[in-house]
A and B are shown apart, each in its own frame.
Chain A
Amino acid sequence: MSDTLDLVFSASGPEVIFENFGDEMVIANLESGFFYSLDGSGADIWNSLLAGHTGRQYAAASNADVDGAAAIARFIAELRSEGLLADAARPAAPDPISVAAFAPPSMQRFDDLQGLLLVDPIHEASPAGWPFVQASDDLRG
């Protein structure tokens, strides 16, 4: 868990779209078709990570206690396992963050699109041509 808190991340790719609606943060993974709504301090954690801060730096800024830090580490691990975060290089000087008091983060997953994509795949073109044979994910446009 401690390793997770010390890592720096970025959104995992252009297929990950996020929008802050003010009272909730939504993340869409268009590759998998899952949508996520972040609760508690989830939006602050997401914004802090994408600004180049570690989970530990966010925990300090939000005055999270030991249990809170563990919850932050679990939340980051969940974001990674859902394919929303990728490891990134440590920035020279990340922008300062302003965060609200810590509240245990959680997320809700919506599978409306994922279910349709499973039964109804859309093949996109690759450098190999059209039709696209999904032999290697790195060819995906």
Chain B
Amino acid sequence: MIEAKRGGAIAEAAASNIVRAATDRPFVASRIVEVGPLTIAIHFADRDLEAQFADAFYPAPAARVTSWSLFVVAAAKGEALPLPGFSADEPDMRLVESADRYCLWMGRHSPSLYVVDRRSRRAVCWIADKGAVRAWERSRPFLPALQAMFDDSSWLAVHAAALALEDRAILFAGPGRAGKTTLSLAGLEAGWRFIGDDYVLVDSRDGAPAVASLFATARLRDDMVARFPKLAGARTAISHDFGERRHELSLQGFPGLRPGAARLKRILYVERSGHPAPDVAPVRRSQILASMAANTLIATPGAREPRLRKLARLLTAAPVARFDPGPRIGDALALLSASLA
């Protein structure tokens, strides 16, 4: 549970008002999706919003009882968001949270206000300008709100990639450009079960660590496209974030993809150090913790202490190593496969 902060009263009032204001609106479309252990009914206020976000998620099996409702609304032209005390021009992220409620304005990163009410199990994503939503947000929608939904569970969304063979998974940690996306998409093409290339869910329960998919998406830099010819048909758009051209992939329907948890057997810190062949070496857990925590805590602000404790618990629950994939990705996958046997 999140400890109530001094801003808790503000969070309580702001969340109540914003959830009420959002859910009073009409909604034209709904999708029931599976995100790890949660079944979420996502309600879209218009078809544009549905088209932007819905296909990033795995559809839930029919007849699954929903555990959360998420309402996605966009401000009309000239309409001000119900931001308490500041305008939508505010560039920095602003956060208030209490034991049950969470409000986050994303500032310059995204024209979005996230509100999560764990008491009613309802959440809101209120977008100031739906034409200004960044490609990364369409690829992994509502991530801070999803993280807040998991705060009263043993699950945590983390900055990492993951692959599995049957139900045995490997988590790939490491900084950006370390090779996590390359490894995970090469695994997908080679018949592994792709769990994620950027953010995945981990369950830090003692004795039974697990990993599960958050999103059915991936993103390729220009220089990686030629390496993955089988994924050409999965491309939905080309985007330009932070001056970089990216190929947005929707992996829905790709053979071998499915949601659901896999048992976490290893955590590898991916780091290229010029080895001529795949190499496994010892690594400090502190290095993995510092790397994973940095991106995770920034991308999903809030509840830092309990989230960091979950991450630390995860690192005690599975063996860790440093992994240099070497120049031939097929050799790397062969070594990883052997390590899971």
Q: A17-B305, A123-B94 are in contact. Are A116 and B294 (CB under 8 A)?
A: yes
Q: Is B143 an interface residue (CB 8 A)?
A: no
Determine the distance from Cα of A4 to Cα of B6 in the docked complex, in whole angstroms: 34
Report the nearest B residue to A20, measured CB to CB.
B316
Interface presence of B242 (CB below 8 A): no
- Given A110-B287, A122-B92; A127-B6 close (CB under 8 Å): yes
Q: How far is B140's CA from A3's CA once the two chains are assembled, in angstroms?
A: 53
B95 contacts the other chain (CB 8 A): yes
Q: A30: CB under 8 A from chain B?
A: yes
Measured CB to CB, the nearest residue on chain B to A140 is B6
CB–CB B304/A30 < 8 A: yes
Residue from the list A17, A22, A125, A127 in contact with B95, Cβ < 8 A: A125
Chain B residues closer than 8 Å to A96, beta-carbon distance: none
User: In the complex where A28-B308, A125-B10, A132-B7 touch, is A35 in contact with B286 (Cβ < 8 A)?
Assistant: yes
Interface residues as binary, A15-34 with B (CB distance below 8 Å gives 1, 0 otherwise): 10101011010101010010
A37-B284, A125-B95, A130-B85 known; A110+B5 contact, CB < 8 A: no
Residues of chain A with a CB closer than 8 A to B294's CB: 33, 112-113, 115-116
- Whether B315 and A122, one on each chain, are in contact in the complex, defined by CB atoms closer than 8 angstroms, is no
Question: Which residue on B lies nearest to A123, using beta carbons?
Answer: B94
Convert A124-140 into 0s and 1s, putting 1 for each residue whose CB lies closer than 8 angstroms to a CB of B.
11110111100000010
Q: Is the CB of B286 within 8 A of A126?
A: no
Which residue of chain A is the closest to B320 with respect to CB atoms?
Answer: A21
How far, in whole Å, are A19 and B313 apart by their CA atoms in the complex?
A: 9
Which of A15, A36, A112, A139 lies in contact with B305, CB distance below 8 A? A15
C-alpha gap A99/B305 in the complex (Å): 28
Interface residue range, chain B: 35 or more
Q: How far is the CB of B199 from chain A (nearest CB, A)?
A: 15
A101 at the interface (CB under 8 A from B): no
Number of A-B contacts (CB under 8 A): 115
Q: How far is the CA of A123 from the CA of B309 in the complex (A)?
A: 22
Given contacts A17-B305, A37-B286, A120-B298, contact A130 B96 (CB under 8 A): yes
With a CB–CB cut-off of 8 A, which chain A residues contact B289? 19, 26, 28, 35
Q: Known contacts A24-B286, A112-B293; decide if A130 and B10 are in contact (CB<8 Å).
A: yes
Residues in B whose Cβ lies below 8 Å from that of A127: 6-7
| Pairs A-B, 9 closest by C-beta atoms | A125-B7, A110-B290, A37-B286, A112-B294, A141-B6, A125-B96, A141-B5, A113-B294, A19-B312
Give the B-binding residues of A (Cβ under 8 A). Answer: 14-15, 17, 19, 21-22, 24, 26, 28, 30, 33, 35-37, 108, 110, 112-113, 115-117, 120-127, 129-132, 139, 141
Q: Which residues of B approach A to under 8 Å, CB–CB? A: 3, 5-7, 10-11, 14, 84-86, 90, 92-97, 175, 284-287, 289-291, 293-295, 297-298, 301, 304-305, 308-309, 312, 315-316
